[in-house]
Amino acid sequence: MTASDKLRNVIPAAIIGVTIVSLIIHPVSIQTLLIFAAIGIVAGVLSWLPGNIVGWVSAVILVFGTERTQSALVARGVEVPWYAPMLIAVSFAVATYYLARLLRRKTPRNAGV
């Protein structure tokens, strides 16, 4: 395992860890968490699919979908820290991407069976 492979595994774990710590320090409502988790899961599934354009669509969903949803929630009076929505969405996108890679690697067709 090279240093870049190790770094590729440490950065997602750090993102998820920082998200958990930030949600403990500044909690958000469960509805807000679920909304941004759904955005992250959609982006994670799209980034796992093959093709270059799908990765770009995933990034657009993460950036603009999160920003648009956050502004709509703030306009309705929901208290959300400025960093929480993107952090939640990226965490769920990373977790979904790595879970999909793990499940794909474990399927019998890809395991050499």
The predicted structure's pLDDT at residue 11: 87
Is residue 106 predicted with pLDDT exceeding 70? Answer: no
The predicted structure's pLDDT at residue 101: 83
Is residue 108 predicted with pLDDT exceeding 70? Answer: no
Tell me the H-state helices in 2-112: 3-25, 30-48, 52-60, 66-75, 84-106
Closest among 106, 109, 97 to 15, alpha carbons compared: 97
- Give me the amino acid identity at 102: L
CB atoms within 10 A of CB 60: 12
58-67: per-residue pLDDT in tens?
999 999 999 9
Domain residue ranges in the chain: 3-106
Is residue 76 predicted with pLDDT exceeding 90? Answer: yes
Q: Are 88 and 37 in contact (CB under 8 A)?
A: yes
37-49: per-residue pLDDT in tens?
999 999 999 988 8
CB atoms within 10 A of CB 99: 14
The predicted structure's pLDDT at residue 110: 59
The predicted structure's pLDDT at residue 103: 84
